[in-house]
Amino acid sequence: MRKSGNIISCENSNKRLQIGESQCGNPYVSSQIGKDGHAMSYYWNYSSPLGMITLFSEDGRRLFGLWFDGQVYDRSLMPEQEKTEKENLSVFRKAAEWLDQYFSGKDPGIFPDLALTGSEFRRMVSEEMLKIPFGATTTYGAIAKQIAARTGRPRVSAQAVGGAVGHNPLSVMVPCHRVVGKNGSLTGYAGGFEKKIRLLENEGVDLKQRGLFVPKAPSYSSGGAGQAEEKRKTEEQVKPALRWPDGKPRCHWCKSDNERYIRYHDEEWGVPLHDDHRLFELLILEMFQAGLSWECVLNKREAFREAFDGFALERVCSYGEEKLEELRDNPGIIRNRLKIRAAVNNAKIFRKIQAEYGSFDRYLWHWTQGKTLREIGRTTSPLSDAVSADLKRRGMKFVGTTIMYSYLQAAGVIHSHEEGCFLYRPPEDME
């Protein structure tokens, strides 16, 4: 087996720790109470061909986490408090044997002692990923359809699936690396593109044959026939998704058969917003997007504007039960009772934030000191995590990190037009 180090026991004499409040220094995981009344969490390092992997167990029986060092949402960076050398836990020994077999290019099957954590939606996404065969791939959209069928919903957002895939705490074993974009782009792996590619190649996947590619072309230095050929091949893979009849290349998600969607992409998405009225409208519409698609919401935007009195903040704040019932009976909008009620709740909190900061614009842009960030290929970020947590703390509903990331992109706080899109701005132009 390839392994190193000892089991780390992180102990604390406080009561059971809640997720997000680990006294051991990890902001994401909770701990179990041992017989001596101390909180216990167990870690072990496994040395893989792709770098060090940290294994984590809350109860000593099941595997709760598996992360490559340095990956996004990596929890192995927790400061060590107390190290205790112990006999290898059975779950770690079995995990190491599973990883040995996997990295030898063999299919070890599903690891039997996995603890799928997180929300019900994230657990469902994990369950669907476990169904992807060794050496196969699927798309975010395909998983969204599977979950919609399981839950009886008319539609589930592929973007929401992307957020769950990106936060997968059990890399490799819950094979999030087998999930790709609908056009073959290798997006959304917290461990990075290189590891995603190498994991797929380890399973015998021929990327070229499958039409898989890294969406953002690498930088190429001048000179060298090999580099020029590599660049040409990469561009050949990217261009088909960007060709448009009017000659303007656009982001791959923009649909050429929806004029409303095209205008939104060209004229609104990613343009920095500083008007509180438009920021309020966008926040409510993004909230209604939860579990659906933005195209669905955009197609109903005019109906929403009429139903919500032009998104006049004071009017929405004053809505009573009679108006809420009227909205629930309106066929032109998304008639979700919880979202309609949350819209009024969020309007009142929006107004409180205005009073606290002088405007919602000041509140929103203070997170980046007024600067626009440049990010591509993500559905969440530390920024969206922070904004989401703050709005939830204030009492807003349907403002999870994926929804807030979409909001930040739409409002221009995060610029995500893809390289190759005619609206793309290189990093040097973002200051």
pLDDT in tens, 104-160: 999 999 999 999 988 888 899 999 999 999 999 999 889 999 999 998 988 888 777
Q: Does residue 188 surpass a pLDDT of 90?
A: no
Separation CA 254–CA 261 (nearest Å)? 7
| Ranges 10-14, 159-163, 233-237, 269-273: which has the least confidence | 10-14
Indicate if the alpha-carbon torsion angle 328, 334, 337, 340 is positive or negative: negative
| Ranges 203-217, 248-262, 412-426: which has the least confidence | 203-217
Domain 120-210 architecture: Orthogonal Bundle (1.10)
294 catalytic, yes or no? Answer: yes
Q: Supply the pLDDT for residue 46.
A: 83
Residues 6+ apart with CB under 8 A from 414: 270, 372, 373, 374, 375, 381, 383, 405, 408
| Catalytic one of 43, 67, 294, 405 | 294
Question: Which of the pair, 40 or 206, is modelled with greater confidence?
Answer: 206
| Ranges 243-257, 352-366, 389-403: which has the least confidence | 243-257
- Burial of residue 85 (CB within 10 Å: 0-12, 13-18, 19+) is exposed
| Helices 337-357, 382-394: crossing angle, 10 deg rounding | 90
Q: Does residue 240 surpass a pLDDT of 60?
A: no
Q: Supply the pLDDT for residue 254.
A: 85
Q: How confident is the model at residue 42 (pLDDT cuts 50, 70, 90)?
A: confident
Pair type for strands 51-57 and 65-68:
antiparallel
Report which residue type is found at 313: L
Q: How confident is the model at residue 85 (pLDDT cuts 50, 70, 90)?
A: very low
Q: Does residue 26 surpass a pLDDT of 90?
A: no
CATH 1.10.340.30 region(s) of the chain?
Answer: 271-415
Q: How confident is the model at residue 59 (pLDDT cuts 50, 70, 90)?
A: confident
Residue 351 has which token pair? 């107004």
CB 372 within 8 A of CB 272: yes
pTM > 0.75: yes or no: no
286 catalytic, yes or no? Answer: yes
Q: Does residue 172 surpass a pLDDT of 50?
A: yes
Q: How confident is the model at residue 215 (pLDDT cuts 50, 70, 90)?
A: low
Question: Which of the pair, 212 or 321, is modelled with greater confidence?
Answer: 321
Distance of alpha carbon 258 from the chain centroid: 26
Q: Supply the pLDDT for residue 192.
A: 67
CATH code of the region 271-415: 1.10.340.30
Compute the average pLDDT of residues 187-209. 80
Compute the average pLDDT of residues 411-425. 89
Q: What is the pLDDT of residues 309-364, one digit of tens each?
A: 999 999 999 999 999 999 999 999 999 999 999 999 999 999 999 999 999 999 99
**What is the C-alpha R_g of the chain?**
23
CB 111 within 8 A of CB 207: no
Pair type for strands 4-9 and 42-48:
antiparallel
Q: Supply the pLDDT for residue 291.
A: 76
Q: How confident is the model at residue 208 (pLDDT cuts 50, 70, 90)?
A: confident
Compute the average pLDDT of residues 69-81. 47
Measured distance between the N- and C-terminal CA atoms of the chain, rounded to whole angstroms: 49
Q: Supply the pLDDT for residue 293.
A: 83
Residues 6+ apart with CB under 8 A from 133: none
Q: Which of 263, 343, 339, 327 is nearest to 295 (CA)?
A: 263
Q: Supply the pLDDT for residue 10.
A: 38
| Catalytic one of 58, 203, 286, 418 | 286
Compute the average pLDDT of residues 391-400. 95
Q: Which of 102, 103, 2, 105 is nearest to 52 (CA)?
A: 2
Compute the average pLDDT of residues 243-254. 79
Query: How many CB atoms sit inside 10 A of residue 119's CB?
Result: 11
Compute the average pLDDT of residues 4-11. 38
Question: Which of the pair, 245 or 355, is modelled with greater confidence?
Answer: 355
230 catalytic, yes or no? Answer: no
CATH 1.10.10.10 region(s) of the chain?
Answer: 120-210
Question: Which of the pair, 82 or 411, is modelled with greater confidence?
Answer: 411
Q: Which of 425, 423, 428, 429 is nearest to 269 (CA)?
A: 423
Alpha helices, DSSP H, located in 167-312? 193-202, 207-210, 225-238, 259-267, 276-289, 294-299, 301-307
Q: How confident is the model at residue 425 (pLDDT cuts 50, 70, 90)?
A: confident
- Return mean pLDDT, the chain: 79
Phi and psi (nearest 5°) for 279? Answer: -65, -35
Compute the average pLDDT of residues 177-182. 87
Residues 6+ apart with CB under 8 A from 116: 123, 126, 127, 170, 174
| Catalytic one of 28, 264, 357, 367 | 264
Q: Does residue 163 surpass a pLDDT of 80?
A: no
